[in-house]
Structure formats: structure tokens, C-alpha cells
Chains A and B, each alone.
Chain A
Amino acid sequence: MADKTNLGWHLIRGWAIAVYIFMFLPVAVVVLLSFNASQFGSFPMTGFSFRWFAELAQNEAILRAFRTSIILGALTAVFSTTLGVLASLALVRYNVPGRNMITTMLIAPILVPEVVLAVALLLFLNFLGLPKSFPLLLAGHVIFTLPFVILVVQARLVSIKRDIEEAALSLGASPRQTFFEITLPLMMPAVLAGGLFAFTISFDDITGTLFWKPGGVETVPTQIFAMLRNSISPEINALGTVMIFMTVGLPLLGLAIARKVASKGGT
């Protein structure tokens, strides 16, 4: 009996490990090969080297793409969190007519396939006679990062009791002062998390970006895509490694900060 359950557990454990290997091995290979001294991006490795990272740092096109991606991601985060916080406040704190309908519509971009969204926005711009431009690329990114911000911020706002805001009002703080002194600090962990989501989603988006970007503008993912069309250079492995650290490390860092802020005085 005991042997049987043990065997079962071994099988489950083995299966779980296999799944993890399947998921993470390709990523691990990319990271590993980015340190390969050889000039072919494949096994066997011929030595350990930072050579490809150094070359990366000197590649103007990649650096430009990085700057574009970071600016785009940061602006997306700022606009998405601002709009998301305002929308959540309205939807949670005020009795807006058609509240459920509005919530559904704001969340919808998650459910619509990104290609459809991308083409739709492009056709819309075409219809309006607007040329592709950086602000429109930004608008596209805001549209599909907004639902994540709203979901996170709304959940937090619901847990902040209205009593606490009423107490602040009764003590003489105006509604605006109450928002900045009480409501905003209390939902800050969610606002930061939402902002980080928006940044990372924008940073590694490719589908929408390919449709919306004006000529000559490349983000990191579209740059990689362009480079892959010519050849598989080990530089791409190095770039991939940097991307992994940015898109995985940054949210983890953000979560750690949020947790620290929340535990300091949190609810």
C-alpha cells in the first residue's frame, strides 16, 4: 500500500519535472548560448565569453530599439495606470449607469485576439486618414494593457472600505486631499503592480507593434524579428537573455517592493 502511493508520487514528481524542462529548457539554452565564445549560436560551446553582450552594446540599431522600447513601455505604464486608476475609481466608488457593461468593454481587449485588435485599430486609423505614428503605437499599447491595470486596481479598491475615506472627509480633508492622503497610498501596491504589468506587456509585445509601428521605428522584439530574417547571430541569444532579465526580473522586483510597502502599514 505504502509502496503504491510512493510510486504514484514518484510518477507525479517525474511528470512535473518533465513539464518544467519542456517549458524552460529552450529559455535556458538561449541564456547558456549567449555566453558561448563561438561565433555560431549552437552547441557545442567553445568557451565562456561576454563577447556577444559587448557587441550588443555597440550595435546602434539594437540600442535604438532598446531606447524606443523603454520609452514606449514607460509611457504605456504611465498612461495605462492613470486611466486605469481613474476608471476603477469611477466604477467602484460611483454609481455609474451601465457599470457592468463599461467594465466588460474595458476588459474586452484581453479576450479579443491581438491580431484582430491590431488590424481593427489599423483600419480605424486608415478610416480616419491618420498616418501611423509613435503616439498611435502608444495608444495601441495603452488599449491592451489597460485591462490588466483595471483588474488589479479594481480588486484592491474594493477591499478599501468606504468608511476609511468617510472618516478622512469628516476630519476635514477635502475629497481631493482624501484621495491623495488615504485612497492612493492604500491602493499603491496595486497601482505599482498594474504599472509593471503594463510595462512588461508593452516591452515584449510584437503582434500589435508590427502592425502599428511607423516606418523606421523598431522596438526590441521587432528588431529581433528583423535580425532573425537575415541570420541567427549569437547576438540574438545575448539580446534574449537581456530581455528575459528585464521582463522576469522587473515584475519580481516590483512585487517585492509592493509587498514591502503593503506590510509596512497595509491592511
Chain B
Amino acid sequence: MSAVTLKNIVKRFGGFTAVHQTSLEIPEGAFVTLLGPSGCGKTTNLRMIAGLLDPSEGEILIGDKRVNDVPIHERNLGLVFQNYALFPHKTVAENVAFGLKYRDVPSADIPAKVKAALELVQLPDVGHRYPKELSGGQQQRIALARAIVIEPDVLLLDEPLSALDANLREDMRVELKRIQERIGVTTVFVTHDQSEALAMSDFIVVMSEGRVEQVGKPEEVYNTPASEFVANFLGASNIFDATCTSYGGPLVGIEAPVFGGMDIPAEKAPNLKSKGSAKLVVRAEKLVLSKSSAAKGVISVPAKVETVDYQGQAVRYFVRAGETQLQAINMIDGRPFAVGDEVNLHLRPQDCAALPG
């Protein structure tokens, strides 16, 4: 049974359709991320699951219960916001205990539950303080404790890490995942940050302009993008108009500019169903710059380095092969190449993916 089910959901705001016909099943205990740029409808979906917005069409189920007409305060959900939304006039302990007051929790048990929740987020000693006395990261932990202490059926996280500093954000990412695994609550996480999505999710739902582009495990979405949008949004990709010359077997023949003909594994082109026009997707980090010649089975193309964007552990190059500009992200091995260097671009066909044209 799915923990959350969206059946043919549509959401319109006046004449604007924020979410087009969307269906989605979120398995019990899973960590699912709604990923996309701002305005893609991910937050609208989350707010419809939460009960803060009513869908224009379709059904929302939590467990096997239809909740379209159930108001938010009767849905038993944990909600965490980008800007924490702690109650400023209540202490941390009162914040965490807030949801317990409206449940059949004997008041004698409340302090123990609050304490356990604060320990889970590793802030056991701040119960008597007020939210404004805590740092942003601490406030977000308290918001998380407040949301999970009520043992929600679903935990909804609306960009919870976006307001934090970069370093803190990575710590909180690990922490959030640890807590979610520990309590096993079904979690829907909304973010526009692909690295958060890739690092934390069991499943990623990539959205664009109110539609679901792809649903899959992080490595599926990353390695086998289902559309040009997904290929561009997750990581950096080079995308070429290509031609499919053969398909049906374990290998798919692709004829592409720059690289010429190549055979790529069929599982890297699951949506390619006919010969003719196609797209070839080459991830920037799969394109390796080298001075040496290629090993057997590796395509090698001469190119010239045009731009070097040094990033510390890696370098992003823009190179020109013939008329075409490509980008490549390589780990630094010795000294990075310089602008104007003549290099060979190495590419293994099995690292490519293909889409229908």
C-alpha cells in the first residue's frame, strides 16, 4: 500500500495551471524528493498533500483514505518550512509539545516525548530557551522535532535546508537522512537543489512546468535521464541532435555529430522506440580530456581548450571540437590543462544515454 497517492491531480490558479494532470504513488517509509526549478509545481503538490491547497481535480489519498475533504489539522502530517516557522512566543519545549496537546497523549507523558524528540535532533538541553536564542540550524532541528514528535503519517519538508549556510546545509542533510531512516517515516521533500535530491532520496520526482518529467532512483534519474530537461537540470550535459541507426538488440546504434557512430547499451536508451532522429546525452564528467591516445573501445576526438573554470577538486572546461563547443568536468590529476591546449576528448559509448528526438 502506498503512503500517499495522487490520482490525476490538477491545480489551477485562475487561468494558470500550476500542476497538470499528475499521478504519483509514494511507498510507505520512502524518502521521495520533488525536484525542479522554482515554479515547476513541486511546492503546490506538497501543499495539496498537506491540505493547505485544494486540488482543482483528482484525488489525494493518505494511506487508503481519501483526504480531499479532510482539513489540514485532521490529517496527522508533519510539516517543516524553509524559514522554520517556530512559535516565537513559546519556548522550545512548548513548541515541540504543541502538537501533542491536540492528540490523545496523557499530559504526564508529554515531557518524556518532548525530551526524546529533542535528543533525536541532538539538542537535548535547549527546551527552556526561546527560538530566537537559537541559530538557524538549531531552529530547523527544533522544527523537525516538533513535526516528528506527533508521529505523523507523512513528513512533508518544504525546502527545509535552503535558508541555511552551505556548510551547515550539508551537515543537516546527513542529519535529516539519519533521523528519517531511524524513525522510518514516509517523507516528501521539496527542493530545487539537485545535490540534496541525489544524496537523500530513495526516489526523485523531477518536475518541470507543472508536469512530472521522470520518477526514479537517484542513479536512474542521473544516468538515464528520460528527457532533455532532466539531462540538463541534473548535472551538466552535452546534448546533440543525433540519428538512431539500429535498435532492438542489446545495443543501440547512434550516429552523432563530433563523435560519429557508436553503439550504446539499450538500457541507456529505454525510451528510444524507433530509428531516425534522436538525442545523444553526454554528461560533462564523462568527457575526459587527455594528451594520450585512447584505449580500445573508447572514442577519441581532437579538441582545443577554450575556457578553464577552476573549482578546487575539479575543473570545468569548455572545449571546441570542430564547430561544436562542449563542456567537460574532470577531477584534477596533476596540473589542469590551460587555455589553448590541444587535447583529445575521450568518451566511452556505455557512458552515453540516448533520448527520442
Instruction: Name A residues whose Cβ lies closer than 8 Å to a Cβ of B.
Output: 161, 163-164, 166-175, 177-178, 181-182, 185-186, 264-267
**Which residues of the partner chain A approach B147 to less than 8 Å between Cβ atoms?**
170-171
Asked if B180 is at the interface of the complex by the 8 Å CB criterion, the answer is no
Asked if B247 is at the interface of the complex by the 8 Å CB criterion, the answer is no
User: Nearest B residue to A261 by beta-carbon distance?
Assistant: B89
Is B76 touching A182 in the complex (CB atoms < 8 A)? no
Q: How far is the CB of B130 from chain A (nearest CB, A)?
A: 5
Interface size class of B (residues with CB under 8 A): 20 to 34
Q: Of the candidates A173, A182, A264, A267, which one forms a contact with B73 in the assembled complex, judged by CB atoms under 8 Å apart?
A: A173
User: Nearest B residue to A267 by beta-carbon distance?
Assistant: B88
Q: Of the candidates B77, B89, B99, B150, which one forms a contact with A264 in the assembled complex, judged by CB atoms under 8 Å apart?
A: B89
Q: How far is the CB of B160 from chain A (nearest CB, A)?
A: 12
**Which residues of the partner chain A approach B77 to less than 8 Å between Cβ atoms?**
170
Is A186 touching B98 in the complex (CB atoms < 8 A)? no
Against A, the Cβ 8 Å flags (1 = close, 0 = not) of B128-144 are: 00101000000000010
The A-contacting residues of B in range 66-124, CB under 8 angstroms, are 71-79, 81, 83, 85-91, 98-99, 101-103
In the docked arrangement, what's the CA distance between A265 and B95, Å?
12
Known: A163-B81, A170-B77. A186 touches B88 (CB 8 A): yes
Q: How far is the CB of B206 from chain A (nearest CB, A)?
A: 26
Consensus secondary structure, chain A interface: helix
Asked if B50 is at the interface of the complex by the 8 Å CB criterion, the answer is yes
Asked if B146 is at the interface of the complex by the 8 Å CB criterion, the answer is yes
User: Nearest A residue to B103 by beta-carbon distance?
Assistant: A172
Is A161 touching B85 in the complex (CB atoms < 8 A)? yes
**Which residues of the partner chain A approach B338 to less than 8 Å between Cβ atoms?**
none
In the docked arrangement, what's the CA distance between A186 and B87, Å?
9
Is B73 touching A174 in the complex (CB atoms < 8 A)? yes
Is B52 touching A161 in the complex (CB atoms < 8 A)? no
User: Nearest B residue to A262 by beta-carbon distance?
Assistant: B89
Is A172 touching B76 in the complex (CB atoms < 8 A)? yes
Known: A163-B81, A177-B102. A170 touches B73 (CB 8 A): yes
Is B85 touching A166 in the complex (CB atoms < 8 A)? yes
Is A266 touching B89 in the complex (CB atoms < 8 A)? yes
Q: How far is the CB of A123 from chain B (nearest CB, A)?
A: 44
**Which residues of the partner chain A approach B99 to less than 8 Å between Cβ atoms?**
171-172
Is B83 touching A266 in the complex (CB atoms < 8 A)? no
In the docked arrangement, what's the CA distance between A164 and B132, Å?
14
Is B85 touching A173 in the complex (CB atoms < 8 A)? no
Is B52 touching A166 in the complex (CB atoms < 8 A)? yes
Is A168 touching B103 in the complex (CB atoms < 8 A)? no
In the docked arrangement, what's the CA distance between A171 and B99, Å?
5
**Which residues of the partner chain B approach A166 to less than 8 Å between Cβ atoms?**
50, 52, 72, 79, 81, 85
User: Nearest B residue to A175 by beta-carbon distance?
Assistant: B73
**Which residues of the partner chain B approach A182 to less than 8 Å between Cβ atoms?**
87
**Which residues of the partner chain B approach A175 to less than 8 Å between Cβ atoms?**
73
**Which residues of the partner chain A approach B130 to less than 8 Å between Cβ atoms?**
265
User: Nearest A residue to B50 by beta-carbon distance?
Assistant: A170
Q: Of the candidates B73, B88, B132, which one forms a contact with A169 in the assembled complex, judged by CB atoms under 8 Å apart?
A: B73
In the docked arrangement, what's the CA distance between A186 and B90, Å?
10
In the docked arrangement, what's the CA distance between A73 and B87, Å?
33
**Which residues of the partner chain B approach A167 to less than 8 Å between Cβ atoms?**
79, 81, 85-87, 143, 146
Q: Closest 5 CB pairs between A and B?
A: A171-B99, A172-B102, A265-B89, A170-B79, A163-B85
